[in-house]
Structure 1
Amino acid sequence: MTARRLLPALLAAVLLAGCGVPVDDEPRLVREPPGRFPTPAGTSTADPDGRVGEPFCFVRDEGLAVVNRRVDGLPGVDAHLQHLLAGPDSAERRSGLATALPGTVVVAGATLTGGVATVDVRQAGQEAGRNDEVLAFGQIVCSLTQRPDVDSVAFRRDGQPLEVPRADGSVSALPLTAADYRPLMPR
């Protein structure tokens, strides 16, 4: 009688022992799955009615301030950039927001490849790192990298990488992120 009770427990133990992850003799390379990782739950910017936030960084008191306009759908990167170039709307201007873009950076357009938005600049002045240039490029980088599909922003002129000023006074031709302009953002 004891053997009959012991047999099912022993059988269950043997079956459960075989359900583990197999052990390899050597470490093996794990490849990243193709495509972008989904946004974690709870970080969506969509309203219950399906509207999403279109993020912009505008100038306030010699720094950058993030504003989200509610829109029916997030436009493409180039259209988003054109909306940024149009500047703050009247309510945003009344709240003290401005832009450093007009006259500082002449943008020809933007494309998105992978997670890198490439902004074509026709004319960017002397790239001397003046504060208005830092704010202008910061507005573009911070606005576009707030999007879920953009990880970084690169600039080019005449098909060549363009060195642009960062908040720390250095210049870079590499793709930039909002972290490059963090000193200009409110804490």
Structure 2
Amino acid sequence: MRRRLVTVLLPVALLAGCGVPVDDAPRPVSAPPGVVPSRTGTATADPDGRVDETLCFVREDGLAAVTRRVDGVSGVDSHLQHLLAGPDPAERDRGLATALPGTITVAGATVAGSLVTVDVREAGEETGRSDDVLAFGQIVCTLTQRPEVDSVSFRRDGQPLEVPRADGSLSALPLTAADYRPLLRR
């Protein structure tokens, strides 16, 4: 009986000694060697490095998000340039357009944490466009598709710029896609 008890208790005692030691306080952990995935980009890459990039264009009187496959993860400036280039021929054939040219002129963008601030210049007087809400909505909805961007603000000549939201109100505060949700079309 005693031999049987030792046979059962010995493995239990040995297993109890194989646990992870408990520290009195947290200790730093180093990142593993090699490439660490980043938060930038809107999807995982294909084996060839292509990723999804979401752009918001105009369809009728609203905004429509489209996904393009692009070579590698682009930065905020490149993503914004892709938006400013407008829909490609296939997207135009599907009824997509842009309100950006002639409405606002984008001079650049800066990133601070999860906020992107877009610098804009005054558009020319004779543009013939009056869809500012769609133009600003395109930028906000496009940039907030990025996982590292939560909100977008605008400034002109270094000063906060009040821009129209979907409900027609003006805001100089950082905006999110929720501010333009009523305009989003499927």
Amino acid at match of 2:10: P
Say how many residue pairs are matched: 168
Matches within 5 A, 1:137-156: 137-156=136-155
Query: What TM-score do the two structures reach when normalised by structure 2?
Result: 0.74
Name stretches of at least 5 consecutive residues in structure 2 with no aligned partner.
Answer: 26-36
Once the two structures are superposed, residues 69-115 of structure 1 have per-residue CA deviations (whole angstroms, 9 ceiling, x without a partner) of 22212333223222212211221111100111122112111122222
Equivalent position of 1:8 in the other structure? 10
Residues of 2 paired with 1:23 and 1:167: CA distance?
Answer: 53
Equivalent position of 1:27 in the other structure? none
Residues of 1 paired with 2:48 and 2:73: CA distance?
Answer: 14
Residues of 2 paired with 1:52 and 1:10: CA distance?
Answer: 51
Query: What TM-score do the two structures reach when normalised by structure 1?
Result: 0.73
Residues of 2 paired with 1:19 and 1:47: CA distance?
Answer: 38
How far residue 154 of structure 1 moved from its aligned partner, in angstroms, is 1.3
Residues of 1 paired with 2:43 and 2:62: CA distance?
Answer: 26
Name stretches of at least 5 consecutive residues in structure 1 with no aligned partner.
Answer: 25-36
Residues of 1 paired with 2:158 and 2:14: CA distance?
Answer: 66
How far residue 47 of structure 1 moved from its aligned partner, in angstroms, is 2.5
Equivalent position of 1:163 in the other structure? 162
Matches within 5 A, 1:1-187: 1=3, 4-5=6-7, 7-8=9-10, 11=13, 15=17, 39=39, 44-123=43-122, 132-186=131-185
How far residue 124 of structure 1 moved from its aligned partner, in angstroms, is 6.2
How far residue 117 of structure 1 moved from its aligned partner, in angstroms, is 1.5
Amino acid at match of 1:174: L
Amino acid at match of 1:122: R
More deviation, 52-61/130-139: 130-139
Equivalent position of 1:31 in the other structure? none
Q: 1:3 to 1:95 in 2, by over 3 A?
A: closer
Q: 1:124 to 1:116 in 2, by over 3 A?
A: farther
Q: CA RMSD in A?
A: 3.1
Once the two structures are superposed, residues 25-84 of structure 1 have per-residue CA deviations (whole angstroms, 9 ceiling, x without a partner) of xxxxxxxxxxxx955xxx834233211123210001211111122221233322322221
Once the two structures are superposed, residues 108-127 of structure 1 have per-residue CA deviations (whole angstroms, 9 ceiling, x without a partner) of 111222222110011269xx
Q: Is the partner of 1:141 in helix, strand or coil?
A: helix
Equivalent position of 2:29 in the other structure? none
How far residue 149 of structure 1 moved from its aligned partner, in angstroms, is 3.2
Equivalent position of 1:29 in the other structure? none
Residues of 1 paired with 2:53 and 2:12: CA distance?
Answer: 60
Amino acid at match of 1:165: P
Percent identity among equivalent residues? Answer: 68
